[in-house]
Structure 1
């Protein structure tokens, strides 16, 4: 009786082990192909994203960008090493290849190709930029800014760095889609703008 029961348990353990292995493999595939999580280390994207938010990033859109999207990118060699040696940044795409981005017009707005940019994501009373600039975004790159312009190291601060403050599109890990932690902030992160 004990031997029979033992034989019955072994196939079940094999099935359970196989299922566990398949689930782990599927989780790794999803993480490296479809989605990935990132933690927000600073207030540079406030009020849209807050320090400590955990983000779900859509990796199926890696290597591409639209104006207005919030993206995670590898800024190594372009923005230097990140805080605590980290290499990933999260910023909003302001300009894409071919755009002329300038700060600022007479009303104090950023302009893209001479048209004032509406920026509803900025905190009330926040200036679009305290730094004047006038740049053309090369093909295959993006110009990125934090939503909290007074507390963001972004393309404006790296105009003299390798790449001129622009980030190659192939450095984009993906688009930020959701805040998944903390629970009270759970929800989608809307993008602003249109595909170009």
Structure 2
């Protein structure tokens, strides 16, 4: 019965993820474990500022080291992982913060060095101290059915900015909503990091809906940056990706407390 309940909870309600990288520092740190609610997206809508775990959209996470197959210990481990009692070591998920929703015009940066969404600048208190909003300029409109995600440690996060392809228009770097596992709601391990992961609603409160903003064709208003994106990696769920470690990093995640699904590093 306990195994059945664990499987039901993991499949439909909650899942724990392990953070293997620093791409979401200082909000989430290496070796932290977070609980992810699978009710978002779904019954509960995504919001700008949510921290989400998502499946690798393609080549965001480094290929995992292959594990020997067929032994009894492997079968037992895989079974316990399947029902949610052991960490998942697949490392094919990442964790990042949602910055842009479908239709949003997201630009970096204005003359004050701030990201603007639909023309409104945002102040981001969750950024790792000393980090700029982005060292790489961008001017994108998020396609329908997708979201634009970034790590809180902007100097060490291989996120939407660095996966946008040659067009640099948001089509390649954004993440399909269908790939999102859920929203990180609590940091549960280690105990001295225990906290709710609330949405920073004040940051995005003045952002108008996309329909009220006309997207321009010009780039950011600050001088162009020559910064080079950080090296990529995988993050744990937590991508610093939970759900991603980067050099810039994307993080895979794992299950259990103090275990958890291991996120890919990014």
**What's the TM-score bracket when you normalise by the shorter of the two chains?**
0.7 to 0.9
Q: TM-score, normalised by structure 2?
A: 0.62
Q: Deviations over 1:77-136 (max 9, x none)?
A: 2x4334736211100000000100000001100000111012010123210000000000
Residue of structure 2 in register with 1:112 after alignment: 117
Which structure 2 residues correspond to residues 175-190 of structure 1 after superposition, within 5 A? 175-190=183-198
Matches for 1:20-31 after TM superposition, within 5 Å = 22-31=1-10
Secondary structure in structure 2 of the residue aligned to 1:60:
coil
* CA–CA separation in structure 1 for the residues paired with 2:121 and 2:171: 25
1:31 aligns to what SS in structure 2? helix
Secondary structure at the aligned position of 1:184 is classed as helix
In structure 2, the partner of 1:80 is 60
Cα contact 2:100–2:142 (8 A) shared by 1:
yes
Contact kept, 8 Å, 2:147 with 2:174, in 1: the verdict is yes
Superposition deviation, residue 26 in structure 1: 1.2
Q: Do the aligned partners of 2:57 and 2:175 also contact (CA within 8 Å) in 1?
A: no
Cα distance per residue 1:21-74 (max 9 Å; x no partner): x22211110111000011111000001000110110001114552100000001
TM-score, normalisation: structure 1 = 0.83
Bigger Rg, which one: 1
The structure 1 residue matched to 2:174, chosen from 166, 176, 179, is 166
Q: 2:142–2:171: 8 Å Cα contact kept in structure 1?
A: no
Distance in 1 between residues matched to 2:41 and 2:62, nearest whole Å:
20
- Give per-residue Cα distances to partners, 1:125-166, cap 9 Å, x unaligned: 210000000000011100000000000000000110794101
Q: Who is 1:48 aligned against?
A: 27
Give the structure, 1 or 2, with the largest relative contact order (CA under 8 Å, sep 6 or more): 2
Root-mean-square deviation (CA, aligned residues, Å) is: 2.0
1:129 corresponds in structure 2 to 134
Unaligned stretches of 5+ residues in structure 1: 1-21
Pairing partner for 1:146 from 135, 144, 151 = 151
* C-alpha contact 2:143 2:171 (8 A) present in aligned 1: no
Between Structure 1 and Structure 2, the one with more helix by share is 1
